Each structure stands twice: as C-alpha cells, then as structure tokens.
Amino acid sequence: MSLDEDRAGILDRLSPESQRALLGQELRRLGTELERIASGLLELQQELASGQEFFCRTISLDPTAVGTRAHLLTESEVKSGRKAYPIGMLLALEGATAPSGGTATELFIADSGTDLIYRFCTIEAMALVVGNLVTEISDDVSLDDEFALFLGSRTGKGIDLFADGNFASGSPIRVTLYGYIV
C-alpha cells in the first residue's frame, strides 16, 4: 500500500460522512445494550414485586470474637429458592474504646457459604473509630459485585459478618444490615 493510499484511508475515516456512519453504528450498538439492560431491570422488578420481603437486622459483636461468623440473616430466614439482596448497612462502636491489638484487619459481610467468594463488602478495621458511623459509601468500605451490582447472595444462603482475625480489646461493634429477600 502506498503512502497516498494510507492518507486517503485516513482522510476517508475523518470525513463527515464516515464519522456519521461510525456514530450511527455506535448509537445502534448502545441502543441494543440499553434494551438488554432495560429488559434485565424489568425482569428484576417483576421478581421483586412477587413475594419480596424487607429485612432489617442489627447485631452487636464482641471485638475479641469477630473472627467467628455472626449471622445477620440466617439461611432459614432466606429459605430455599430465594436470595438476599442487601441495600444498606450501618456500623458503629457502642462504647468509647476503638478495637485494638489482635490480628483483625478487615471485616466482611458475606453470604453464609463457607467460602469467601460471595462477599457483599469489606470494611477496613481502621474505620472502627469512636464516633464514626460507617455505611456502604464510607471511604474504608469496598463494595463487591453482590452488593454494588445488586446480585445478591447465593440461593438459600443467609448473610454473615466476620473478620479475618480477632481484636485484643475494644467496645462492642454494632452492625445493622437491611435489604430484601426475593
């Protein structure tokens, strides 16, 4: 291919007619994608409207035992064939002493399966400061797809809170999680 053919190809791609054609192709692609998303949202809305149940659970944890799973929502509450979809959470200390010492660096809200694949969020231990209210949009909270994209838990699984270790001391940690069971 000669240099003039290369220039002609570049100029052709830059021409208003070519740009309009490329824009039209991109708009058609985006329109198709938007239709797919709208269809998925409609299916989810119909699923939610049929038998959805709101839940709001609060638990208090001893920071020296946060390495052990605590149930925010049990599997018997979710029931077979249904999924839990958290939409918000609040976390705060009940006293005036921040958790310290020990091996805990992160807290997890995850479904009740034994593996940590289906996490809703990860809360950095440094967020546990006296007077600090931690929510799903706090800086020290990382949302996973199950929460952020509203994918929910695995079918029939509850929701647990636990850490990657225990603290040596500190005030109790109070956690409220709310959402829907569908």
> Tell me: the pLDDT tens digits for 69-101?
999 999 999 988 999 999 999 999 999 999 999
Q: What is the pLDDT of residue 6?
A: 62
Buried b / exposed e along 69-94 (16+ C-beta atoms within 10 A): ebebbebebbeeebbbbbeebebbbe
pLDDT surpassing 60 at residue 1: no
Q: Residue 49: pLDDT above 90?
A: no
The alpha carbon torsion through 166, 167, 170, 176 (nearest 10 deg) reads: -40
pLDDT in tens, 147-170: 888 888 999 999 999 999 999 999
Please tell me which residue, 96 or 117, carries the higher pLDDT value.
Answer: 96
Average pLDDT over every residue of 37-47: 79
Residue identified by tokens 């647990």 is: 160
Predicted pLDDT at 150: 84
Evaluate if residue 106 carries a pLDDT over 70.
Answer: yes
- Which residue is listed with tokens 């976390």? 91
CA atoms within 13 A on the CB side of 81: 3
Four-point Cα dihedral 90, 91, 93, 94, nearest 10:
50
Who has greater pLDDT, 4 or 28? 28
